[in-house]
Amino acid sequence: QVQLVESGGGLVQAGGSLRLSCAASGRTFSRYSMGWFRQAPGKEREFVAAISRSAGSTYYEDSVKGRFTISRDNAKNTVYLQMNSLKPEDTAVYYCAAASPDYGLGSAFMYDYWGQGTQVTVSS
């Protein structure tokens, strides 16, 4: 069992930055690939970024490439999402999730555990 708690969301102007954190409980964090998803009002949840267990591989949705960076610290049981050059269309609730497999990380179906989400609002 893994419990995930996100933090770091908030209100920011377009062009600004935020850093999301997701703290995981338990001593098996390093066994999970981690992902970030987001859901805007009236839209389906969409993939944002993912990182493999060892942090050897990272994956990004096209619209965030070059602006967002996912990283993890297995010693701290934490995964991060650094978001730069934020746009109003990045406004959403952001969720972190943990997946047992190390593949197919762009699909929400691969993830076993989810956090409660943190709101990110980007004003124009």
- Written as tens digits, the pLDDT of the chain (124 aa) is 899 999 999 999 999 999 999 999 977 899 999 999 999 999 999 999 999 988 889 999 999 999 999 999 999 999 999 999 999 999 999 999 999 988 899 999 999 999 999 999 999 9
pLDDT at residue 26, as a whole number:
78
Asked if 48 contacts 120 with a C-beta cutoff of 8 angstroms, the reply is no
pLDDT at residue 80, as a whole number:
98
Asked if 60 contacts 38 with a C-beta cutoff of 8 angstroms, the reply is no
Question: How crowded is residue 101: how many other Cβ atoms within 10 Å of its Cβ?
Answer: 13
pLDDT at residue 25, as a whole number:
94
* Cα 52 from Cα 15, distance rounded (Å): 28
CA-based nearest residue to 82, from 22, 1, 41: 22
pLDDT at residue 54, as a whole number:
84
109 Cβ contact partners less than 8 Å away, ≥ 6 residues apart: none
Look at the chain and count its residues: 124
pLDDT at residue 1, as a whole number:
84
* Gyration radius of the chain's alpha carbons: 13
Place of tokens 């691969």: 110
